[in-house]
Amino acid sequence: MPDQSQGSPALRPAGPQVSRRTMLRGASVLGVGVGFGLTPLLTACGVADGGSEESGGGSGKGGTLTLAIDSTSAVNDPAFYTTLGDWMAVDCVCRGLTFISFESNEPTPDLAKSWQISDDQLTYTFTLREGVKFHDGTTLSSADVLASLNRQFDPENKTLPKGASRPLASLGNNVASLTAEDDLTVELVLKAPDRTVLAQLSDIGGRVISKAALDKYGSGIGKHLVGTGPFKFASATSGQSVTLEAFDDFRLGRPPIDRLVLRQVQDPSAIVSSLLSGDVSATQFTPYSAVEQLKSDPSVTVHDTKEGFDAILMIDARRVPELKVRKAINLAIDRKAIVQQAFFGVASEPDGYTIPPAQNGYDTGLADLSTKNLAQAKKLLKEAGAVGRELGLMAAGDSWHPKAAQIVKQNLEDAGFKVKTTSVDPASYFSRLSDGKDDYHDLMIWERNSYVPDPNNMVGSMANPAGLYGSTITGLDTLDGVDTLAEDLLVAKNLPVGKKRTAAYSKIQRRWAEEYMVIAMLACSTNLVVSGAEVKGINTAALGNHRCFMEKASV
């Protein structure tokens, strides 16, 4: 999960902005992965660069590639999240105007072959590729783009299913108009500048659906999704699998494999055994505890991917009102223990605060914001008159979360707190995060995944006092002076990528931490990408960031 700047009504997001993992825990609106619960979305690979006509397809070897996913409801819709596996299927079936490979963080042309941006940064004119075919045989035109984006922008659109989360809602709130100049030209006019538009359009919400299919199926499009992607929908059974077939007319060439099966596998041990037996070709739902076992087995490959998500401890400032106490909590945390014991080494101690190493804007000059100093933690706690304060700590009961909670509890008790903990079923965790009256809402262990590799998707979401993290979860919006954080975030996201933009985000993060401390970093990690040794063409950078680009994968 978007999502960023607040302030004027034109820039206010239309709804809560959270990570995709959070979206899926909250069931049909905004929640996270169910089942065995390792870190989010299974996706895999073989990304074409989106703009290069030479980078996809190939003669191929045929066959079936099977991916282990968390779950499937058999509803695949860019505007609606039910499970991570369903979201992955959308990534395979549909493409968007722009594309980010995650091998590079820069948006490249996809269904749009080019674009022009006005000098005032308000008008984006996209020129579409000619002759691009949808799976239903229709040809891409501006009408398809308008139909697909307008349903994201308009909460009353009749093609939206009940409970649609509309991941492009915040972008739509800043759209003054979306029009078609002709069949191959789309003009998007903003109310205020936003340099992240091209990146946002690469996300799942920006996927283009056949207008003919939308007209035919309406809000039921999730069971009949039609796109221009490398794979077309074949069948789906809720709680079991989604089957996709290679699309012969994919614009970058037919994928090497004939069939892609997304199979629900919810038990960690079953994931490991299925990888080793070859029943599963690839996944990034692999339990961290199995990393050494898998590295030693020649039948599989454990891929090394950059760390792209934040493991965090969120502090509710309404429940812990003293800044000194919140800082004491941060200073007490043993990140090294969390990296080794909760992530089994598949992580690093955070030295860039909330911008992870995989993203532009990563700055190791912020390492001091996430260092352990138990003596200073005890001193601050004593100064605040809070020695012996009881805190509630909640964590989801899956993946790395329980062990991290155990370590944090011990760390805080060593500093002088009393800590009560609860382990929450992943399917209901989001509802607990959203309930400020929950007995354990003082401290909440969570993660922030970024599906658009930009600081605006991380800092811009979490440090925004009007967003979900800043209001509902941490109460940042109740603290003095936070309105200017939103103003600074708006300025930062509109700077070009480079030293000046990095410095702007670093300044925001330092102030956010030193003056408010509502997010304590635990670690930076990646999803553990593992594939069969014979599986080729996987874009592990995309897989580690939960994106599913399979057009070059082969078995």
Task: Count, in order, helices (H) and strands (E) of the chain.
Answer: 17, 19
Higher pLDDT, 519 or 429: 519
CB 423 within 8 A of CB 402: yes
Query: What CATH number corresponds to the domain at position 384?
Result: 3.10.105.10
* pLDDT at residue 6 in the model: 29
Mean pLDDT on 92-102:
96
Q: Does 269 lie in the same domain as 346?
A: no
Stated as kind and residue range, the H or E segment containing 457 is: helix 455-462
Residues paired with residue 282 on neighbouring β-strands, in sequence order: 67, 531
Task: Give 309-330 pLDDT, tens digit per residue.
Answer: 999 999 999 999 999 999 999 9
User: Whole-model pTM?
Assistant: 0.81
Does residue 35 sit within a domain?
no
State phi, psi for 108 to the nearest 5 degrees: -125, 165
High-pLDDT (> 90) share of the chain, %? 77
Which residue, 162, 181, 211, sits at the end of a domain?
211
* pLDDT at residue 252 in the model: 95
* pLDDT at residue 529 in the model: 92
Mean pLDDT on 502-519:
98
Query: What CATH number corresponds to the domain at position 202?
Result: 3.90.76.10
Q: Does 477 lie in the same domain as 349?
A: yes
Residue for token digits 């304590």?
520
**Interstrand relation of 123-128 and 282-283 (parallel, antiparallel or unpaired):** unpaired
State phi, psi for 296 to the nearest 5 degrees: -90, -5
Pairwise CA distance, residues 326 & 196, whole Å:
32
Mean pLDDT on 9-20:
35
Q: Does 414 lie in the same domain as 299?
A: no
| pLDDT interval class at 545 (50, 70, 90) | confident
* pLDDT at residue 26 in the model: 36
Domain tally for the chain?
Answer: 3
**Interstrand relation of 231-237 and 241-246 (parallel, antiparallel or unpaired):** antiparallel
Does residue 11 sit within a domain?
no
| H-only helix segments in 363-448 | 374-383, 401-415, 426-433
* pLDDT at residue 67 in the model: 92
| pLDDT interval class at 201 (50, 70, 90) | very high
| pLDDT interval class at 193 (50, 70, 90) | very high
Whether the predicted pLDDT of 380 surpasses 80: yes
Q: Does 429 lie in the same domain as 371?
A: yes
Q: Does 480 lie in the same domain as 359?
A: yes
* pLDDT at residue 302 in the model: 96
∠ at Cα 36 (34, 40), nearest 5°? 60
Q: Does 73 lie in the same domain as 168?
A: no
Report the half-sphere exposure of 513 (CA within 13 A, side-chain side).
25
Q: Does 201 lie in the same domain as 259?
A: no
* pLDDT at residue 428 in the model: 84
Whether the predicted pLDDT of 41 surpasses 90: no
Q: SS in 3 state form for 95-107?
A: CECEECCCCCCCC
| pLDDT interval class at 27 (50, 70, 90) | very low
Pairwise CA distance, residues 443 & 404, whole Å:
12
Whether the predicted pLDDT of 116 surpasses 60: yes
Q: Does 542 lie in the same domain as 496?
A: no
* pLDDT at residue 21 in the model: 43
Q: Does 189 lie in the same domain as 130?
A: yes
| pLDDT interval class at 85 (50, 70, 90) | confident
CB 432 within 8 A of CB 381: no
Q: Does 509 lie in the same domain as 547?
A: no
* pLDDT at residue 541 in the model: 86
CB 307 within 8 A of CB 348: yes
Per the structure, the complete domain to which residue 238 belongs is given by 62-94+229-305+527-554
Pairwise CA distance, residues 548 & 41, whole Å:
9
Mark 341-365 as b/e (b = at least 16 C-beta within 10 Å): bbbbebbbbbbbbbbbebbebbbee
Whether the predicted pLDDT of 534 surpasses 80: yes
Task: Give 272-282 pLDDT, tens digit per residue.
Answer: 999 999 999 99
